[in-house]
Each structure stands twice: as C-alpha cells, then as structure tokens.
Amino acid sequence: MTLALPPGFRFSAATSAFQIEGSRDVDGRGRSIWDDFLEAPGAIVDGSTADPACDSYRHPESDVALAAGLGLDRYRFSIQWARIQPEGRGRGNLVALDHYSRVVDLLLDAGVTPFPTLYHWEMPVAVEADGGWLNRDTAARFAEYAALVVERLGDRVSHWYTLNEPAMTTLQGYATGALAPGRQLLFGALPTVHHQLLAHAAAFEALRAGGAQQIGLVNNHTWVLPLHDTDADRAAAHMYDMIHNRVFSEPLLDGMYPDLESLGFPPMPVQADDMARIRASLDFYGINFYNPTTVTSAAPDSPIPFGIVPTPGVPVTGFGAEWPIMPSALRDLLVDLKRRHPQLPPVIIGENGASFPEPATAGRVDDQNRIDYLTGHLAAVAEAIEAGVDVEEYTVWSLLDNWEWADGYTQRFGLVHVDFETGERTPKASYDWYRDLIAQHREEDAR
C-alpha cells in the first residue's frame, strides 16, 4: 500500500533505556527513581523488574541490526541519566559514556542516524531527593548532564530529543502516582511543568553550545473529546485539554502559559527570562500520539474536576477501554495545532504504536492488528500534511517488545517479539510490513 507521504519523509522507530537495557547494577550506574518505584509492593502488575528486559545494554548490536534491517532513517533510543551521573551531579561516568558512544558508532556503521533522548522518565534518586521536578534547580542539573553527554557524543550526534513526555511525568509521576516517582500531589504537581520546560530550554542551550543541529522535546498529545455535547462536558474537556496538552505546547510555541488562573489553578513559578528561553528552544516539535481521551464532568465526590471515560464506538488495544483506537484524532490534533500556531516548526511524530495480547514465548506473530493501527495513523499523518502541517518524520513505538513500566512485561508494543526468558528476538509481520513500506518510499524518492 502506498501512502501519500512527501518525498524525503523519514521513518524511524524508538525504544527507551530503562525499558530495554537491563543491567541495572553494572558499570557504576546509580539508582534511578524507577529502581525505587518498582520495589514498592504492587507497583508493577506482574511483579517484574526491568532486568533483564531486552538485555540491550549487554547486546546493543542485536538491536542495531534490527533497526538497520528495517532501513530506518533514525533510531530513537535514550540515555540513562543515572548511568552518566550516578549521584545526579559532578563528572560523567566514563564507562557509561563509552557504552553510549559505542551504540552511536554501531548505528552509524549500520547507516542509521542516532537520535537520542536525554530523559525518558528516569532521574537519579539523588536529584529526586532534592525535590526532583518540583525543584527549579533540577533544570540546571539537567543541563549539566546534557553538556556531559554532548561533549562525548556531539562529534557524531547532531539530532537530540531532550525530554520525553513531560506531561506524563507531571500527570502520572507527580499528580496521580501511577509512574515514578509515585507522588500524589494532584494539582500541586503543576510546578513540575515549568521546571521541566525550563530544563528543556537549558539543555537546548547546552546541546547547541556543543554543536547540536536539531534539538526538540517530545510532548505526549491527546485529542480531547467531550462525552456529551453539554456545557458541563465541554468545560471538563477544556480543562483536561489545558493540563494535558496546552500547558505544554503554548509556552514552547507562543512563549506563554494558557490562562490557568481562570480555571482556578495557581500561576506557574515563572522568573525573569524563563519564557523567552523556553520559546527559543525548538528546532522541531515532537509529538507522541497514542489515543484520544473522552472526558465528562466530574463525579460529585471527585477530587479532580473532570472524569476520563471510555471513548464510545471505537476498537481498543491491549489496554482495553483505556486505549481507544481513533487514527482521525491524530489528523485532527495536528491540523488544530497548526491552526493555533501558524509558525509551528517542523513536526516529528516521536512515538505512535499499540500493544496487543501476544504469546510470551518466541515465535512468529502475525500482528495484522498492529499493521492496521500503524497504517491508519500514517494515513492520518498524510492527511495532516495534505492540509498544510509540516510533518517530517514518523516513529514507531516500539522497535522491540519491552518492559512497559507499571505494566511490566504484560503489554507488547514491538515490531519485534522478545521472549523475556531467553532473550530471543523474532520479527513480527509488522516488522516486514514496515521494512517494505520504507523500501517502497525510498524507491519513489529515487524516481
């Protein structure tokens, strides 16, 4: 099948360090907030740890071979802060820097552009102990870490993601406690928005000073739908849209926070030139998209002013009603973002994908459901481009089945099946589909 994607459109796939690497106790790695989180009784549905996960720290070459076999333009992977600065400050851990340097060399030798993320949700516990993202100083510490990494890799890596999905860190890490560090501050979590965006801006400056050419962050965006066409549901949907999407997009794209006070929230802890720095910090705008969110007005005894409910009338992924499938929502959100922000920089879809129930043991998986999901969302991207949105790249989450955070090994997102008992990797039908799609687009580009 041919999708109407423009010449030069890039195809990528992603993983993240804590979800694939394992080897949590080697080469001087420090503890991260996820090491603490996963030890809490009942925190992880299957009681698993992220060790060995895909054992990728010991065998990066097998992941690189799979990335190269797809013909990817870029491979999005992440670097663990707790490996580089075990105590969250000070000199870089040379053994860990060498490791990531080797990953970069393997990718370059295989013809795949390395596209690292500096922060995919795991911070050294020493930084969290000082307040984590509630503390403004974390922004400067993050920039120090970014400087160490670019100093080592910047001769070969010129494209960088700073933070992955600050919205999930705020909403699930600090507001509800579903992800590390497991804080339950509800709206008390809001300062973590500003401190993360400031950290992104400070890291942008450090990476640029180290010669980086293309720097951005990747926001998780959802398309928010009111359950009923009533004032109450529309107001609830508006509030959710503010705290999931717009409080992250508007400072980056317009240099201003949306009017939070009119919704009853405290103002952001903004100082002097923060907003100018945040606004000047994007070469591209990264978007991770998985599903729409349907919102209704809050139940009378609820501590939060909206309720999230299943999206009626659409299929779902392995997460059930929590993860509805609606590709048109991706098109609608891209078109809406461009309408709100005519100066939108080039967009990169940094993650998109789905989990489905699949066997644990090694074997070929005929995942037509994943192929349908990915095809639908790529078609939505093509429609958004047709409508005038400059989307340059699409990234599948994930190259490999991996450790799905609080869901442990129970949700499989990979183009490649991983048997977590033996480490065996088996490309799924979706792997072949993506490889062929990329090859076909390359042929068309060459014509």
Residues at the site binding ligand BGC, with contacts judged by CB under 6 A: 16, 19, 164-165, 168, 220, 288, 351, 397, 404, 413
Residue found under tokens 């993860």 = 323
Which residue among 21, 250, 351, 404 is the active-site one?
351
Between residues 329 and 385, which has the closer beta carbon with respect to ligand BGC? 329
Residue 2 corresponds to which amino acid? T
For ligand BGC, the closer of residues 233 and 358 by Cβ is 358
- Closest CB to ligand BGC among 313 and 320? 320
Instruction: Decide: 350 and 286 in contact? Cβ < 8 Å.
Output: yes
Instruction: Provide, rounded to whole angstroms, the least separation between the CB of residue 267 and ligand BGC.
Output: 28
Closest approach of Cβ 412 to ligand BGC, in Å?
A: 11
The amino acid that residue 7 corresponds to is P
Residue closer to ligand BGC, measured from CB, 237 or 406:
406
What b-and-e string marks burial along 32-43, b requiring 16 or more CB atoms within 10 Å of the CB?
Answer: bbbbebbeeeeb
The maximal CA–CA distance of the chain, rounded, in angstroms, is 62
Q: Do the Cβ atoms of 20 and 403 come closer than 8 Å?
A: yes
Closest alpha carbon to 386 in 335, 349, 351, 447: 335
Please, where are the H alpha helices in 2-58? 17-20, 33-39
**Residue closest to 67 by CA, chosen among 334, 399, 445, 414:** 399
What's the closest the beta carbon of residue 320 comes to ligand BGC, in angstroms? 13
Instruction: Please report, for residues 90, 93, 184, 203, the alpha-carbon distance to residue 248 in angstroms, rounded to integers and kept in the order given.
Output: 30, 32, 20, 17
Region class of 211: left (phi > 0), else alpha (psi between -120 and 50), else beta:
left
Q: Is-contact 66 3, C-beta < 8 A? A: no
Residue tagged 């001087």 (tokens):
28
Cis preceding linkage at 297, omega within 30: no
- C-alpha 145 chain-centroid distance: 19
DSSP SS3 for 11: strand
| DSSP per-residue codes, 318-376 | TTEEEEE--HHHHHHHHHHHHHH-TTPPPEEEEE--------SSSS----HHHHHHHHH
Question: What string of DSSP letters covers 38-69?
Answer: HHSTTSSTT---SSSTT-TTT-HHHHHHHHHH
**Cβ contact 181:132 at 8 Å:** yes
Q: How far is the CB of 193 from ligand BGC (least distance, A)?
A: 17
Given the complex with ligand BGC, which of 168 and 209 has the nearer CB atom?
A: 168
Q: What's the Cα-to-Cα distance from 94 to each of 32, 33, 277, rounded to whole Å? A: 18, 22, 31
User: Exactly one of 122, 128, 165, 404 is catalytic; which is it?
Assistant: 165
Task: Look up residue 338 and give its two tokens.
Answer: 């461009």
Nearer Cβ to ligand BGC (133/210):
133
Closest approach of Cβ 165 to ligand BGC, in Å?
5
Q: What is the nearest approach in angstroms of ligand BGC to the Cβ of residue 411?
A: 7
Min separation Cβ 351 and ligand BGC, Å? 6
Q: Rounded distance, CA 271 to CA 159, Å?
A: 29
Q: How far is the CB of 112 from ligand BGC (least distance, A)?
A: 20
Q: Tell me whether residue 17 or residue 253 sits nearer to ligand BGC (CB atom).
A: 17
Is 165 tagged catalytic? yes
61 given a catalytic annotation? no
Nearer to ligand BGC, 410 or 426 (CB): 410
Q: Which residues are catalytic?
A: 165, 351
